[in-house]
Every structure is written in C-alpha cells, then in structure tokens.
Amino acid sequence: MIGAWTETLTAEPDRPLLLDPGADPNRGGSGAWTTRGDFLRRTEVAAKRLRAAGLRPGDRVVVSGPSSVDLAVSHVSCLRLGLVVVPANGAYREAELAHLMADCTPRAAIVDQDGWTDLLSALSPNLLITTTDLAGLPEVGAADGERIVLDVAPPEAPAIIGYTSGTTGRPKGAVLTQANLLAGAEAVRVAWRWTAADRLILCLPLFHMHGLGVGLHGTLLAGGSVVLQDGFDPDLVLSAMVDHDATLFFGVPTMYHRLSGHGGVPALGRLRLCVAGSAPLSAELHRRLADTTGVSVLERYGMTETVMLVSNPYDGERRPGSVGIPLPGVEARLDPDSGEIQVRGPNVFAGYWGRPEATAESFVSDQDDGPAWFRTGDLGAVDADGYLSIIGRAKELIISGGFNVYPREVDDVLIKHPAVAEVAVAGVRSEEWGEEVVAWLVPVAGHECPSVEELREFARGHLAAYKLPRRAVAVDAIPRNALGKVVRHELLPPD
Ligand code: MCA
Ligand code: AMP
C-alpha cells in the first residue's frame, strides 16, 4: 500500500493534497493546502520519531481524533513504519476503550480526544501516549534518521485492526494487511475513475473504513486532493463543494437525508460523483436527490473486514435499492440455503485479532481449493442482470446513521438499571437514521418503567452516545425462543 502511495505522491510534489479543517477559508482559515511533498516529508519525520520513541514494526497503535492533517500524518506515518493502526471512535466510553485495549494490547496511542490521556494511562500504565502533533516524542537527527528504514512492510503485514462486531459477540479486531488496504483502494480507484484531478469533500470520520480506507487511502492512491471536515455540517459541506471546485462526495445515507432538506442541495449537481454507503440508501431518497439535483447517487457496499465489495457502475444504470455488481477483483455469491452474501478477493481481511475460532467460523471453504469465502452476515438477492440487493441481515446488528450498534452490548448495560427486570433492544426503521435504537423493557414488579431520558442518562457513562436508545417501550414480556434467547424480530415497533 505504502509503496503505491509514495510513488504517486513523489511526482509533482507541489500539488495540493489535504486541506486541514482549521485552514479552510470558510472557517476563517488561511486556505493553505498541505502539498504532496509536505505530506511525504511530514510522514517521514513522524515515522522516524515514532521509531526513536521505541516503536517497532508490528506494534499496535491506537489512533483517534477529529479529522485533521495531523491525524492523517499520524496514520500514514504509522503505516510507513510498519506499525499496526487501531482506529478508535472518539465517542467510545471507558468500557468500550477498555475492551479494545485489552484485546489488541497496543504499545502506543496517538489521540486528540478530550480526557483520553488519563483514561488510557489508567487502563494501560506503560502505554506511550501522545497527541497527533507527536508532542513530547524525541526529535531525530539527520544521521540517526538515515538509519531508520521506512516503507518496507511486506504485503501480508498487518496494517490496520478495525473493530467491528462481526456476526456475533463483542467487537472484534479485523486485521487488514497492507495488501488488503491497497486492493480496497485500488478497486474503487478503477471503478469510480478516480484520478489526480479529483477533489473529495470528506466529512466522514477517519476511524472507519468508509472515511479512512476509501476516502483517505483512495485519495492517496489516486493522487487527488481532499478537503477534510471534522464532522458533518451541511452548510460547510455544500459551501466547500462550490468554493473548492470539488468533484467527489462520499457520505452515509443520514448525511444525504439531511442534505436533501437543505436549500443548498443543488450544489451536489456540480460534482462528478456522489457515493453513498455504510447503510442502505432508500430508493425513495435516491429518487428525491435525482429529482432535486440531477445526481444519480452511486450506492456501494462494504465492510470493515473487506473494505469495498460491490458498487453500482460509474457508467451504466445506478439502480435505486441495489448496491450493484462486484468490484474488480471481488467475487461474490449467495449461499443457496441461507441467501447470505459470501465474498472472496485480495481485499478480504486476514482474520480477527487473537480469535482463531471466530475467524474460522466466519469463512467457508469449497472443495475447489480456491480461497475460502468470507461470510458477510448480510442477506442478498441478485437480479437477472447481476445487480445485488441487500435484503436483510443474518447478524444481530443495528446500523444507525452508519454506525454499528450491537444490541446485546446495549442490553447488557440497560439490564443493570435497578428498575429493569428484562430488556432487549432492536433497530426500528427511521427516515433520518436508517435504523433507530429502541429498547423494550419489562419493569421490576412495583417499579415504574424508566423513561427513555432516564435510560439514556443511566447508560451514557458506559456506551458511546450513538448506541443509546432513542425510544423505550414497556412490555409484559420479552419474546424468547425455547432456549431463552431473545427473538428480536418479534419486538413490535412502537407507533
Ligand atoms: C451521532 N449521534 C448518533 C449518531 N451520530 N446517534 C445515532 N446514530 C448515529 N449515527 C448522536 C450524537 O452522539 C448526539 O447524541 C446526537 O446524536 C446528535 O448528534 P448530531 O449532531 O445530530 O449528529 P452528528 O454529529 O451530525 O452525526 C451524524 C452523522 C454521524 C454525521 C451521520 O453519525 C456520522 O458521521 N456517521 C458516519 C459513520 C461512518 O463513517 N460509518 C462508516 C462505518 P447526544 O445528543 O445524546 O450527545 S461502516 C464502514 O466503514 C464500512 C466499510 C462501509 O460500508 O462504509
Ligand atoms: P461495518 O462493520 O461497520 O464495516 O459495517 C458493515 C455493514 O454495513 C455491512 O455488513 C452491511 O450490513 C452494512 N452496509 C454497508 N454498506 C451498505 C449498503 N450500501 N447497504 C446496506 N448495508 C450496507
């Protein structure tokens, strides 16, 4: 991966590459871009400082912060040194971070999140902790620097561990190799005709594959440029499209939903390509955007474990309600019995960190000696002309605004409320969020059922805010099967 980027970025070093949110003139910044040459130099210096601080190839490093050039530099410098980046959602609370830390045992953390330094050092007293400006790390003299070799991680070396709930259980670390990252970015570069002339507006967080593995890595591979925004603000997104002559926008359906209600939405029509993913884009929203802006949004399908898998075509019909056809290099099929989508290709991850059993369970092998197929946990249907639609999920998962919520993780926190005897959460359709977390509760005898506000307050210290229920429904019993397992699809949506 790294070799491919450095080759692209070495040419024409003065071309603009990244605009920091703080440098954006729309926010009072200087308008100064970080060029390709600046970025290469900064990532080289940073990688050498990380090495001088004692980090070695294969060490895990938690990286988290609002989007910024410093964050991108930190990320890429880790990859150049062969470190393994563990992106972490800034909304994580202590319990979520503790799980990640215990699971991947990082040696260092590069974090800009408020309060995380204390939290992380309490969780792991020997952890090397710094911010994305690498404050406090040793400087490296020219002679010492010469001896530090960069960009030599082999294709099979782990590069990122992305936490995701997979099909079951608590979040697991999906190990993506350097080769997986390259394959993931290369597939969309080719399919979406991504070139050095492109300019992306990127307001997706850099701790998920959508923003990181597609938005940032794709830009580095194609040699395009990117306007970084730290969060989604429709005014800033739309004005940036105009002011920076953007050509690309990538977003989750919740962002398109909010943009569709904004007076400035025709600005989307200036772009060469608008891509949606991470959750289903409703056919209705697809059509509404086409009617108001003339844009046929290109929907694609991916996963943390695989980067991108399937995409509507750049040329040809972008079919509402479908995710399209497999990307170059990706094979996809439906399991004949369950209808599960199974995939294989150079983009498919190496396995879950430290979990051989979970890894084995998530692959199926054929008799044909070809690579094993990864079980996505998504259910699909294929049209006669090969277009794939995602029609359901075999896995217990809620996707709210593009963020994954694993219901049992929420159940396990809410059940600790003293007035709750039984609880189960599930996703309910929502126009804005796609799915909304709703909690069904059986109160303890003699207690009032807690309100949703009370439940949110109770759980806020333990769960990232996007996992908190948005509605609560009191019931007499939670539907369960003969084994006592919650049957979530029998939880009836509130009116
Ligand atoms: C924020 N909140 C949410 C969500 N986001 N609640 C439910 N679902 C969410 N997704 C909470 C906030 O914590 C806050 O809670 C309240 O909602 C209001 O926040 P608001 O300002 O409206 O939200 P926002 O900050 O504008 O965020 C909405 C968002 C964001 C921009 C859509 O959720 C987002 O960036 N989503 C994209 C995530 C993503 O990149 N996913 C890709 C993963 P309170 O008021 O209680 O504090 S999937 C992936 O990577 C694969 C490979 C793929 O296919 O792409
Ligand atoms: P994550 O584990 O966060 O990478 O989420 C991956 C999951 O997001 C997939 O397994 C799908 O369930 C879902 N997903 C991604 N893109 C789409 C899409 N275009 N339509 C429907 N679901 C999607």
Whichever domain contains 460, its CATH number is 3.30.300.30
Q: Residue 348 falls within a domain, yes or no? A: no
Q: How far is the CA of 411 from the centre of ligand 2 (A)?
A: 22
Residue 200: phi, psi to the nearest 5? Answer: -100, 135
494 — pLDDT class (breaks 50, 70, 90) = confident
Q: Residue 308 falls within a domain, yes or no? A: no
Which 8-state DSSP code applies to residue 486? B
Q: How far is the CA of 75 from the centre of ligand 1 (A)?
A: 22
Q: Which residues contact 145 (CB under 8 A, 6 or more apart)?
A: 45, 48
Beta carbons of 63 and 75 less than 8 angstroms apart: yes
**285 and 404 fall within a common domain:** no
359-185-106-173 Cα dihedral, nearest 10 degrees: -20
Residues with CB under 6 A from ligand 2: 164, 209, 277-280, 299, 301-304, 323, 376, 378, 390, 393, 399, 404
Domain count, the chain: 2
For position 179, which CATH number holds?
3.40.50.12780
From CA 389, how far away is CA 281, in angstroms rounded?
11
Residue 84: strand, helix, or coil: strand
**144 and 286 fall within a common domain:** yes
Percent of the chain residues past pLDDT 90, beyond the cut:
92
Least confident range from 156-165, 230-239, 478-487: namely: 478-487
pLDDT of residue 6: 87
Average pLDDT, the chain: 95
C-alpha to C-alpha distances, 228 to 133, 147, 253, 334, nearest whole angstrom: 17, 33, 19, 37
Q: How far is the CA of 136 from the centre of ligand 1 (A)?
A: 32
468 lies in which domain range? 398-490
255 lines ligand 1 (CB under 6 A): yes
Q: How far is the CA of 283 from the centre of ligand 1 (A)?
A: 21
**167-201 per-position pLDDT tens digit:** 666 789 999 999 999 999 999 999 999 999 999 99
Report the nearest-CA residue for atom 2 of ligand 1: 466
Q: Residue 359 falls within a domain, yes or no? A: no
Q: Residue 37 falls within a domain, yes or no? A: yes
- Ligand 2 atom nearest 276 alpha carbon: 19
**126 and 260 fall within a common domain:** yes
pLDDT at 445 over 90: yes
**405 and 283 fall within a common domain:** no
**215-269 per-position pLDDT tens digit:** 999 999 999 999 999 999 999 999 999 999 999 999 999 999 999 999 999 999 9
Q: Residue 298 falls within a domain, yes or no? A: no
pLDDT at 124 over 80: yes
From CA 148, how far away is CA 55, in angstroms rounded?
12
Report the nearest-CA residue for atom 6 of ligand 2: 303
Least confident range from 150-154, 312-316, 481-485: namely: 481-485
Q: Which residues contact 347 (CB under 8 A, 6 or more apart)?
A: 180, 183, 184, 187, 306, 307, 308, 309, 327, 329, 330
Q: Which residues contact 125 (CB under 8 A, 6 or more apart)?
A: none
Ligand 2 pocket test: pick from 301, 352, 388 the residue with the most ligand atoms within 8 Å of its Cβ. Answer: 301
Of 293, 315, 336, the position where a domain reaches its end is: 293
**25 and 138 fall within a common domain:** yes
**227 and 95 fall within a common domain:** yes
pLDDT at 291 over 90: yes
**Ligand nearest, relative to CA of residue 66:** 1
**142 and 14 fall within a common domain:** yes
**Ligand nearest, relative to CA of residue 402:** 1
From CA 273, how far away is CA 312, in angstroms rounded?
12
**Ligand nearest, relative to CA of residue 89:** 1
Q: Say which residue the tokens 């539907």 belong to.
A: 479
Least confident range from 144-153, 269-278, 314-323: namely: 144-153
pLDDT at 80 over 90: yes
Number of residues that this document lists for the chain: 495
**135 and 13 fall within a common domain:** yes
Q: Average of pLDDT values for 461-482?
A: 95
Q: Residue 462 falls within a domain, yes or no? A: yes
Of 255, 277, 293, the position where a domain reaches its end is: 293
Whether the model clears a pTM of 0.85, i.e. scores above it, the answer is yes
Q: How far is the CA of 174 from the centre of ligand 2 (A)?
A: 15
**164 and 31 fall within a common domain:** yes
pLDDT at 82 over 70: yes
**Closest Cα partner for 61 from 53, 69, 143?**
53
Q: Average of pLDDT values for 406-416?
A: 95
C-alpha to C-alpha distances, 246 to 37, 226, 461, nearest whole angstrom: 21, 9, 39
Q: Residue 266 falls within a domain, yes or no? A: yes
pLDDT of residue 276: 98
**151 and 6 fall within a common domain:** yes
Report the nearest-CA residue for atom 45 of ligand 1: 465
Report the nearest-CA residue for atom 5 of ligand 2: 303
Residue 450: strand, helix, or coil: coil
pLDDT of residue 443: 96
Ligand 2 pocket test: pick from 176, 390, 467 the residue with the most ligand atoms within 8 Å of its Cβ. Answer: 390
Of 293, 327, 352, the position where a domain reaches its end is: 293
pLDDT at 21 over 70: yes
Q: Residue 7 falls within a domain, yes or no? A: yes
**41-53 per-position pLDDT tens digit:** 999 999 999 999 9
